[in-house]
């Protein structure tokens, strides 16, 4: 008897907006180094001040994604134009205890967080009596608890609002869709009441559709950035780090990047050769590239390349996108009239050395509509759009 076919696991849509220009927001208590980091990342030059709430309007900036593969392709093709991938980053003002009830500049800040797709949580792990801490103590784990409680409180309020508005319609009788939404909203609320962030729930594809409509704060992926003194960063030791690690592991195990805004600031000012010498002697490197690439990945973005003598370009798409959708980021006609994608793997091109040699080796592969694009694919799309607009 033929073995029973195993059912393929159902593909679930990812939590979050289905767009390619997603944003990371820098979040944390006041005076933890958020604006200092933002300025470093973007070189925008907004002055960071030793004063809580010095960032009142959120600042946004676009940063390039550092990538050796992109640099290598540019050196191979020597294109007239070179376009790297990018990440939008928003500097959000400090959040305090009670923000969900409107403390500090509470609700405005929380709405800025609602506008981003992923969160850089900056934790203060440096002690400096000159830099005021709003809670009068340095305790990054307690800070993380405060922030997460506020985000969950805001999510609870939003979901309670959804439940209330559906319940108000009950007397008129609820449609099937509304009953389903009510059931889902109640489950989300139950989940939040257990003090667990929404992104760690086990949601069905239909649940994810509702969740993507609500855009809850705790549905957004996080990257933890631990800001320490230059001294601690250089000796790779910090008294708060093990506890932060433990806390993050117990709360979803998302990426943690130790860094020092003070160190980054210092080397940022130096000319390149001096910077290299200084880093070599101290045995450290700048963490800014890793912070950018980790944030980009956290919000489920990847990119493919188009490469030729005219242009080498990174096209960013969400993880899981199939070839026609990827083609659509270049032009809607490419998606509409999609025939196939001719794909080279970056590593194979690098190893073999040239596009023609890759073709000769039979490694320039034709892929169809169901092909799921992977990060770093080099793609040439074939498409055909007739004048009637139909394939
Ligand atoms: N690793 C560090 N070591 C010592 N001082 C630091 C470090 N990182 C940042 N600082 C200092 O902390 C102060 C506050 O930094 P910054 O303005 O970036 O905080 P913030 O989180 O943006 O605050 P707010 O929430 O008020 O906007 C600045 O004086 C900055 O130089
Ligand atoms: Mg700030």
Tell me the domain boundaries of the chain.
23-297, 301-383
301-383: same fold as 23-297? no
pLDDT digits (tens, 9 = 90+) for 242-256: 999 999 999 999 999
pLDDT of residue 379: 97
User: Is 14 a residue whose pLDDT tops 90?
Assistant: no
Q: Are 36 and 44 in contact (CB under 8 A)?
A: no
Domain 23-297: CATH superfamily, name plus number:
P-loop containing nucleotide triphosphate hydrolases (3.40.50.300)
pLDDT digits (tens, 9 = 90+) for 105-158: 556 778 889 999 999 999 999 988 777 777 778 899 999 999 999 999 999 999
CATH number given to 301-383: 3.10.20.30
**Bind-site residues for ATP:** 31-36, 228
Distance between Cα 145 and ligand 1 center (Å): 20
Label residue 173 by pLDDT band (50, 70, 90): confident
Distance between Cα 39 and ligand 2 center (Å): 10
> Quick count: other Cβ atoms within 10 Å of Cβ 137?
9
Say what the pTM is.
Answer: 0.90
Question: Which residues approach ligand 1 with their CB closer than 6 A?
Answer: 28, 30-36, 48-50, 52-55, 93-94, 126, 128, 131, 227-229, 260-262
ipTM of the complex: 0.98
pLDDT digits (tens, 9 = 90+) for 259-315: 999 999 999 888 889 999 999 998 999 999 999 999 999 999 999 999 999 999 999
Whole-angstrom distance between the N-terminal and C-terminal Cα of the chain?
43
Residue nearest (by alpha carbon) to ligand 1 atom 6: 262
Most informative mutation of 27, 37, 48 for ligand 1 (most atoms within 8 A of CB): 48
Q: How far apart are CA 140 and CA 86, in angstroms?
A: 30
Q: Are 185 and 158 in contact (CB under 8 A)?
A: no
* Beta bridge partner(s), residue 225: 122, 257
Query: Taken in order 50, 56, 57, 58, is the CA torsion positive or negative?
Result: positive
For the residues 167-175, what does the mean pLDDT come to? Answer: 88
The 3-state secondary structure of 16-55 reads: CCCCCCCEEEEECCCCCCHHHHHHHHHCCCCCCCCCCCCC
């Amino acid at each position: 008897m033929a073995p029973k076919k195993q059912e393929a696991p159902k593909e679930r849509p990812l939590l979050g907006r289905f767009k390619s220009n997603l944003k990371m927001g820098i979040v944390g208590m006041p005076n933890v180094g958020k604006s200092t980091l933002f300025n470093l990342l973007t070189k925008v030059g907004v002055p960071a001040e030793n004063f809580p709430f010095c960032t009142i309007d959120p600042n946004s900036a676009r940063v390039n994604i550092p990538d050796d593969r992109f640099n290598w392709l540019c050196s191979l093709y020597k294109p007239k134009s070179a376009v790297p991938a990018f990440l939008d980053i928003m500097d959000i003002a400090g959040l305090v205890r009670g923000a969900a009830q409107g403390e500090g500049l509470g609700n405005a800040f929380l709405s800025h967080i609602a506008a981003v797709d992923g969160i850089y949580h900056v934790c203060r792990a440096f002690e400096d009596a000159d830099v005021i801490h709003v809670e009068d103590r340095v305790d990054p784990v307690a800070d993380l608890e405060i922030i997460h409680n506020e985000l969950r409180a805001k999510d609870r309020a939003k979901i309670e609002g959804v439940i209330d508005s559906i319940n108000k319609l009950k007397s008129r009788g609820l449609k099937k869709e509304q009953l389903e939404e009510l059931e889902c909203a109640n489950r989300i609320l139950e989940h939040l009441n257990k003090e667990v962030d929404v992104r760690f729930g086990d949601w069905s594809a239909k649940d994810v559709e509702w969740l993507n409509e609500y855009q809850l704060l705790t549905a957004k992926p996080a990257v933890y950035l631990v800001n320490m003194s230059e001294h601690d960063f250089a000796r790779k030791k910090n008294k708060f780090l093990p506890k932060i690690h433990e806390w993050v592991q117990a709360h979803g195990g998302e990426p943690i990047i130790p860094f020092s805004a003070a160190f980054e600031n210092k080397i940022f000012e130096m000319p390149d050769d001096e910077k290299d010498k200084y880093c070599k002697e101290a045995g450290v490197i700048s963490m800014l590239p890793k912070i950018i690439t980790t944030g980009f990945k956290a919000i489920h973005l990847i990119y493919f390349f188009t490469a030729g003598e005219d242009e080498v370009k990174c096209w960013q798409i969400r993880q899981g996108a199939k070839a026609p959708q990827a083609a659509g980021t270049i032009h809607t006609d490419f998606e509409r009239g999609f025939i196939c994608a001719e794909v080279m793997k970056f590593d194979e091109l690098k190893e073999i050395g040239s596009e023609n040699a890759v073709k000769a080796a039979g490694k320039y592969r034709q892929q169809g509509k169901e092909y799921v694009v992977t990060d770093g694919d080099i793609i040439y799309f074939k498409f055909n759009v007739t004048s009637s607009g139909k394939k």
